[in-house]
Structure 1
């Protein structure tokens, strides 16, 4: 009698066997190996049935999506090697692998390094020193507070800080640079290797890592990447900084693929934008983060992208 679900390792093993079988009849030696694996543990057979069922459900995604799915697994050499025999079954199994691994990935390394995290919605946190940190969806922070300093590391996402004034310096590190509070409220955003700082009130000092420093006052913003400034100082309306705190996301003339990636942070299930001209169409709008499905549909309509919803809530746009 099976009393528990298969482990993640068993699920991955089952998925590998499903992929192999979908590519064509197994050689006798591999067929015997599969039978031995299935008989070794009742949970192996359960994992096998679950992965087969998922593969079959994905078949309903439609031929247009299936034709585009290789882009999702273009870097997986092991799966590409299987593709040479029967293309369509491999595409289905590959898609199942992507949905399973991306949707269920634990991000163990990031979680091990972070002290504060948010999932698919902004989170307000009161820090031990009395400061307030508002984390946008999908944000992770590490804290290092002691008797002489207040040091934070932005590992992913973006956060807005209202700093409590005291003798210990308050510094936020991100992307190899540092933002030093001089008495203020400000936001720091990490997108890939680019770090943006926007000041709501007061003053901050930003050091990108190349030895230079820039003081930003209320209503100012600047971005650096890999230790170098990208743009001159930009002007902002202080009240409009970090609008996601109010449940809004302002997208101003951004490629559709990047806009959808921003909106996807407010969903639990993954979203993929495949290559094509529509992904590069620039879009604009003010969207409500509580309704990411509607927002993604609106961006897709602007860009002329098609939307396909997969089992488990995943979305593919092309």
Structure 2
């Protein structure tokens, strides 16, 4: 006859494993959510560090979610043309359809907007919630500040320390040791030389600014390895390296202090910068080329106030859709 105590132990093991899996799935879901809070991130890190089984379960569940990349590719494909339905009956009144259109449009925009951040969240070791700046200490003692919605992953070994900037921007205050410290983004590399520095990633373009010390830039498809010092700025993409105008070192990564500093910045650039701190996207349509640039200091904690100020200053038009999506257009006279 089977041992009742053995059966109870098996049931307990199965129940415990199911609970562990459910908890790991919960944390994966929260990690990729746009509204995860700083306290939740700390709670997750505490849970992971409390038991090796937690780490294994979390890694397993996160790996399963990697299959979402196939979904993201579907969003990148051009939509197929609808097949006309000859003589099809209209089942819904036109007025009803027009009333529902903004909601459907907002839902479509939201799906496209959130999908990339979900995939990035699955790859990230550290991530900042939207609307907040997060400071983390890496295993080597280096301090990293992550701007709103930014994410990094790490690959530290016995020979070197590599941080991958997956999205957004990060400021590094590097602790120096024999292993080199490298930040990789969009196929290029920034190497620390006694430094505190910022790396920004916007799609395929990367910008680097130095607070103090120096860094060496290795741009993709570029044989030069220029050095940047305090106040220096540069950008790179697949075409190579470009030096930008210098600025006071105190201006580098001003977002760490909750400040958005604009000095004769094109309107669309300023709006995109402010949009980083909103949970819902900001969409711009039309030609803003004739509109004067934006200068001033805004607070990242009040992005809607900043948008409204720029719209009012430059005589723009702003429409709010369900879900908080904002559409901004130039007035016809601009």
Compute the TM-score of the two structures, normalised by the length of structure 2. Answer: 0.66
Residue 237 in 1 paired to residue 248 in 2?
Answer: yes
Provide the rounded CA distance (Å) in 2 between the counterparts of 1:170 and 1:148.
10
Residue 142 in 1 paired to residue 153 in 2?
Answer: yes
The answer on whether the counterparts of 1:199 and 1:238 sit within 8 Å (CA) in structure 2 is yes
Alignment deviations for residues 37-65 of structure 1 (CA, whole Å, 9 cap, x no partner): xxxxxxxxxxxxxxxxxxxxxxxxxxxxx
Question: CA 1:97–1:132 in structure 2 vs 1: closer, same or farther (change >3 Å)?
Answer: same
Residue 205 in 1 paired to residue 211 in 2?
Answer: no
User: How much does 1:297 deviate?
Assistant: 1.0
Equivalent position SS for 1:166: coil
| C-alpha RMSD of matched pairs (Å) | 2.7
Provide the rounded CA distance (Å) in 2 between the counterparts of 1:102 and 1:211.
37
What residue number does 1:35 align with?
none
1:157-168 correspondence to structure 2 within 5 Å = 157-168=168-179
Extract unaligned runs of 5+ from structure 1. 1-74
User: How much does 1:205 deviate?
Assistant: 0.6
Residue 123 in 1 paired to residue 155 in 2?
Answer: no
Question: CA 1:119–1:78 in structure 2 vs 1: closer, same or farther (change >3 Å)?
Answer: farther
Residue 101 in 1 paired to residue 111 in 2?
Answer: yes
What residue number does 2:186 align with?
175
Question: CA 1:139–1:78 in structure 2 vs 1: closer, same or farther (change >3 Å)?
Answer: farther
Provide the rounded CA distance (Å) in 1 between the counterparts of 2:289 and 2:328.
9
What residue number does 2:270 align with?
259
The answer on whether the counterparts of 1:278 and 1:303 sit within 8 Å (CA) in structure 2 is no
Residue 151 in 1 paired to residue 179 in 2?
Answer: no
The answer on whether the counterparts of 2:126 and 2:152 sit within 8 Å (CA) in structure 1 is yes
Alignment deviations for residues 200-250 of structure 1 (CA, whole Å, 9 cap, x no partner): 1111111112121011111211111214123x3532211121100000011
The answer on whether the counterparts of 2:267 and 2:288 sit within 8 Å (CA) in structure 1 is no
User: How much does 1:152 deviate?
Assistant: 0.6
What residue number does 2:320 align with?
309
Equivalent position SS for 2:301: coil
253-262 or 86-95, which moves further after superposition? 86-95
The answer on whether the counterparts of 1:118 and 1:138 sit within 8 Å (CA) in structure 2 is yes
Alignment deviations for residues 52-111 of structure 1 (CA, whole Å, 9 cap, x no partner): xxxxxxxxxxxxxxxxxxxxxxx64457979xx968468436414324424654733322
Alignment deviations for residues 255-286 of structure 1 (CA, whole Å, 9 cap, x no partner): 22221111111111222122244796532221
Extract unaligned runs of 5+ from structure 2. 1-77, 330-334
What residue number does 1:70 align with?
none
Residue 270 in 1 paired to residue 302 in 2?
Answer: no
The answer on whether the counterparts of 1:152 and 1:171 sit within 8 Å (CA) in structure 2 is yes
Provide the rounded CA distance (Å) in 2 between the counterparts of 1:88 and 1:279.
33
Count of aligned positions: 242
Compute the TM-score of the two structures, normalised by the length of structure 1. Answer: 0.69
Provide the rounded CA distance (Å) in 2 between the counterparts of 1:152 and 1:81.
51
Provide the rounded CA distance (Å) in 2 between the counterparts of 1:205 and 1:166.
17
